[in-house]
Amino acid sequence: MDPKRGRESGTPAGLASPGIITNAIRRDTAYTRLSRACYRHSPSWQDSRVRRVVMHVDLDAFYASVEQLRRPELRGKPVIVGGTGVAGERGVVAAASYEARPFGVRSAMPLSRARRLCPHGIFVPCDFPAYREASKSVFAILDRYSPVIEPIALDEAYLDLTGEEALMGPPDAVARQLRDEVKAHCGLDLSIGVAGCKLVAKVASELRKPRGLVVVPAGDEAAFLAPLPLGKLPGCGPATVVKLERFGVRTIGDLAALPDPFLGELFGQYGRALGAHSRGIDPSPVLPPGDPKSISREVTFDRDVTDAGKVRETALALLQDVGQSLRSHRLSARTIVLKIRYQPFDTQSRQATLPYPTDRDDQLADALRQLLETQLVPSRPIRLIGAGVSNLEAGATQLSLLETRSSRLAMLDEQLDQLRDRYGDHVIARGATARPHQKDVRRDDLDALR
């Protein structure tokens, strides 16, 4: 038996037992402390004379892989993660195992279509507490490789390795070591792209999945991108591809050959950025996330709803989650936002400005109730409901001149937050409707990684 991999039991090192994911031990090495200090005081990432090295890491079929790690009976079978796992529900595929992909199942595909393509697939609900724990284990390892990490999702991030070669070694060797360490400690496969900018690194990481590694040498960015189809370029969506193909543009190299003025006429300012990207030019830095500009939650009903009471209760339950996020960021909101999608696909968004910023559940809920009373059309079937806040301000809640903050209500918010943090989001909630099941990644999930 290989003691590092646990091959006899099928359990990778770092798993206490099959189906239990444990956090990789985070070692705050002298290198990590030194590199963080050097990075904070060095402007090298802004210096064009220093060759940038950016790594894009992407966990392969992450949600499905976590499910297969937790449940050995799923290994080697077509696993499709999405929604709550209930037949006939709406929603999209969050992840599909590599055993499901030969049937044509892909992420972001409607669940109904995935069931038709893969009728014998095993559909499982999203379990974000498990995915968050697995992601934390991986990010604990990433933290030892770079002082600057930009999480994009629970399974995806950029690392800035600029100026670290003398300490860490060549980028390709560093990438192999990282990929092997994540596999050994977390049991998950990682695909990695390394290049001189974020855009090219991302394209590189997606070329040889699973467990791929592609390094694009400095100066070869345009040549690397040139033979690839247009759809491989980030930001070049289906509508853009169709428009470019009318002019005989099929590859990224074809796009790079077009003059910027022509692209500007076709797509405006975005066209010039598209031209630069097609030549491998992307000066955007690797940056940790800042404070959110807005916070929102929404849910798509499994069946259209005509019960106005259910719609109101669901919206208020979503708003409780928004309020908890608001307080965790130590922010207050001036604007409340209501989103309604009627059948077939008529989406309306309405907002109201509060007299003063607040983070309190009862005050946010009062404002949302007023919006629901004036904007909700009970006779129309509703497909989706959402609630959110914007115009966020830092600092403590500012009070109305006619009101002092109730310490009892403020304390209640804090105690409910503590219970949810300790026992899970669904342990307790105000009102009769439980908080909706989380079906997709949220900004709070990424903040928890940093």
CATH fold label, 62-127 = MutS, DNA mismatch repair protein, domain I (3.40.1170)
DSSP assignment string, 165-224: HHHH--HHHHHHHHHHHHHHHH---EEEEEESSHHHHHHHHTSS-SS-EEE--TT-HHHH
| Pair 255, 230: CB distance under 8 Å | yes
Q: Residue 378: what pLDDT?
A: 82
Establish whether 156 is a catalytic residue. yes
Q: What angle do CA 370, 371, 373 make, to 5 degrees?
A: 65
What's the pLDDT tens digit per position in 325-338? 888 888 999 999 99
Contact partners, residue 162, CB within 8 Å, separation at least 6:
44, 45, 50, 51, 52, 53, 54
For residue 427, give Cα distances in angstroms to 28, 418, 422, 423, 448. 34, 11, 9, 6, 20
Q: Residue 8: what pLDDT?
A: 35
Q: Which amino acid is at 221?
A: E
Q: Residue 19: what pLDDT?
A: 35
Coil/strand/helix, residue 150: strand
The boundaries of every CATH 3.30.1490.100 domain in the chain are 294-447
Q: Identify the band that residue 299 occupies on the pLDDT scale cut at 50, 70 and 90.
A: confident
What is the pLDDT averaged over residues 51-68? 96
Q: Residue 42: what pLDDT?
A: 42
The boundaries of every CATH 1.10.150.20 domain in the chain are 222-278
Select the more confidently predicted residue: 268 or 406.
Answer: 268
Q: Residue 124: what pLDDT?
A: 93
What's the pLDDT tens digit per position in 144-190? 999 899 999 999 999 999 999 888 999 999 999 999 999 999 999 99
The boundaries of every CATH 3.40.1170.60 domain in the chain are 62-127
What is residue 94's DSSP assignment?
A: S
The boundaries of every CATH 3.30.70.270 domain in the chain are 48-61+129-217
What's the pLDDT tens digit per position in 243-261? 999 999 999 999 999 999 9
Q: Residue 21: what pLDDT?
A: 36
Q: What angle do CA 360, 386, 92 make, to 5 degrees?
A: 135
Q: Residue 448: what pLDDT?
A: 63
Q: Which CATH number fits domain 222-278: 3.40.50.620, 1.10.150.20, 1.10.260.40, 1.10.10.10?
A: 1.10.150.20
- Write down the pTM of the prediction: 0.74
Q: Identify the band that residue 442 occupies on the pLDDT scale cut at 50, 70 and 90.
A: low
Superfamily of domain 294-447: DNA polymerase, Y-family, little finger domain (3.30.1490.100)
**Active-site residue, from 67, 99, 150, 156:** 156
Superfamily of domain 48-61+129-217: Reverse transcriptase/Diguanylate cyclase domain (3.30.70.270)
| β-sheet bridge partners, residue 55 | 159, 194
The two tokens of residue 260 are: 């910027």
Contact partners, residue 388, CB within 8 Å, separation at least 6:
294, 295, 296, 297, 322, 336, 337, 339
| Pair 372, 338: CB distance under 8 Å | yes
Residue 374 has pLDDT above 70, yes or no: yes
Percent of the chain exceeding pLDDT 90 equals 59
